[in-house]
Amino acid sequence: MKRIVIAVAGSEGKTEYRDVQILPGTQARDVLDRLGLAGFQLARPDGGAFGHTDDLYEAVADGQKIYATKADVEAGC
């Protein structure tokens, strides 16, 4: 089991879910669903974003802070 912190980007630190415990096999979508963060994605600590079905447990360290950001942001030209 790992403990992580999920912070919502843009909330100025006001929305943070501390002590989120995840078990092996937990996917990014499992955490987002549980926290009611529909339309968000989780940012990878080393850059990029987690796909909804990516294994979150394998990719994060115990105690790490992960940011949830709106998935609809997109550049255009």
Residues forming the site for other proteins (CB under 8 A): 7, 9-14, 16, 43-44, 46-49, 51, 65, 67, 69-70, 72-77
Query: Cα 13 from chain centroid?
Result: 14
Q: Which residue has the tokens 């909330």?
A: 11
CB 73 to other proteins: min, Å: 5
Q: Which is nearer to other proteins, 14 or 24 (CB)?
A: 14
Distance CA 2, CA 23 (A): 7
Q: Which residue has the tokens 């100025």?
A: 12
Q: Which is nearer to other proteins, 21 or 23 (CB)?
A: 21
Q: What does residue 3 show for φ and ψ, rounded to 5 degrees?
A: -110, 130
Q: Which is nearer to other proteins, 6 or 22 (CB)?
A: 6
